[in-house]
Chain A
Amino acid sequence: MRVEAQIEVSAPPELIWEAITDPSRMLDFMSGVTRWEVAGEKERGLGARYRMLMRVGSAEIGSLVEVVECDALRDLAWTSITGIDQRGRWRLRPMRGSGRGRSPRTRVEFRLAYGVAGAGFFGWLSERIAAPQVRGHLRRSLHQLKREVEHEQLRIDAATRRKARGRSRPRSRAS
């Protein structure tokens, strides 16, 4: 079963990419996820492995996942090695018209395909019954990511403005 959600974020892809590739920040915005820990020596990038758990229904279920695609600032995809079968993807695309004097905007897409291979009818049924909850987690995760990244962008903008104001002040008093 595949579920997806998308959102527009008023921030450049760099900030979003930093948030979604940093394993220590995942729990800050990922809804329903109770664990996202590094399993191995590599912390991020292609080949990095994470042990993740998501609360769905009566229990926390998850997998050991590995990053299988890492196209910087654009695509991050992972697939499961053990546990529940899953394939996930973050897709970041800068929006048209942003960045030319206007604040940069990015479209963020979060996809997750999950299931248990060979589970037959009950597997099919449980995937569909779990879908609204999983989709809800994805949507909430995107909103929380948006909030976090846009706050960060606001802080950066404010710092830039302060710096600009400082530069434009006359130095007469200091001299």
Chain B
Amino acid sequence: MAQRTSTARPAPAAADDPSGMPGRFARALAAPITSRIPRADLDERDPDFIRENLPRLWLLTSLWFRGEIRGMGNVPEDGPVLLVGNHSGGNLTPDTALLTLAFSGFFGVERPFYQLAHNLVLSMPGLGFLRRFGTVAASPENAEQALRSGAVVLVYPGGDWEVHRPSWQSGRVDFAGRKGFVRLALAHDVPIVPVVSIGGQETALFVSRGERLAKALMLDRLFRLKVLPISIAAPWGLNVGDFLGHIPLPAKITTEVLPAIHLREEFGDEPDVGEVYDHIVQVMQDTLDALVAERRLPIIG
């Protein structure tokens, strides 16, 4: 449920940092956190644990978020698949909880399903259980390993950038030009299934990504964090960073799973990465526009 991302780029090495005093101080601060980032082990996913927690997810998504998911049948019945979603809800993302429940309910917990997450999410104390749900750190190696094993992999290309967008941009798909997922799908010749959700950005009043603040504090270099989000959220009021999470408002979450896109069938043997990226973002944006049009009131849905 925590913020996930697919930033499929290696983190800049700490050695690249400026050698000045602030750089050394920041490196010292980052070391204990980065050392907590676990190595990806697909075997950590625990189907029994997921199954036993489905009722909890069901209660959360059905009662609190009044979730509604459509089109799960669009996910191919077998073989590796790359699910590509838009990301909403700050550090607590209800759309991921809904998708995990819907996937496990639809295909059964026996079908391997992994979610790529930001390094920091996996290194946060108390979030170790996410690894048992199949969450692995976002890196090209982990994604490749999961797809090679025949699993379904969920990526949120927009990652921390998109998930903290201001609430008034709720109806915008913003992948910030991150095209790693297209290269990944092409390299493994797997279909892409776009997943579009609405409602997550109404679970708090997201005011700003705080990207300048993040840059000033060198969070982008140290933790791959391009943002230091500022929001008004329960129970904190003014919430900077959202590191401790928040109590999300009970906004209705609606998710639509779109038909699979087989890249080489639709774009030829040597698809242009930019063209595929534009197409997928456009398809997702059109779907989100329709979901926005369907929504009568914020939070209520």
Contact = CB atoms under 8 A, between A and B. Distances in A.
Interface residues of B, number: 26
B68 to A, nearest CB: 6
Contact of B52 (A56, A123, A130): A123
B69 interface: yes
Given A58-B68, A59-B98, A123 B55 contact: yes
Interface in B25-74: 48, 51-56, 58-59, 61-63, 65-69, 72-73
B273 interface: no
A53 B62 contact: no
Nearest to A54: B105
A118 B55 CA distance: 10
Contacts of A58: 58, 61-62, 65-69, 98, 101-102
Given A116-B55, A123-B52, A60 B66 contact: no
B106 A122 contact: no
B52 A127 contact: no
A113 interface: no
B72 A57 contact: no
B110 interface: yes
Contacts of B58: 56-59, 61, 126, 130
A77 interface: no
B12 interface: no
Contact of B105 (A60, A118, A119, A120): A60
Contacts, number: 81
Contacts of B54: 61, 84, 116, 119
How big is the A interface, by class?
20 to 34
Given A58-B66, A59-B69, A122 B59 contact: yes
A118 B56 CA distance: 12
A13 interface: no
A155 B30 CA distance: 78
Contacts of A83: 105, 108
Interface in A69-87: 82-84
A58 B48 CA distance: 21
B61 A57 contact: yes
A156 interface: no
A62 interface: yes
A119 B104 CA distance: 15
Interface string B156-191: 000000000000000000000000000000000000
Contact of A82 (B56, B69, B101, B108): B108
Given A57-B61, A126-B58, A82 B52 contact: no
Given A59-B69, A61-B58, A119-B55, 17 more contacts: A53-B106, A57-B58, A58-B65, A59-B101, A60-B102, A61-B54, A61-B106, A83-B108, A116-B51, A118-B48, A119-B53, A122-B55, A123-B52, A125-B59, A126-B58, A129-B62, A129-B63
Interface of B: 48, 51-56, 58-59, 61-63, 65-69, 72-73, 98, 101-102, 105-106, 108, 110
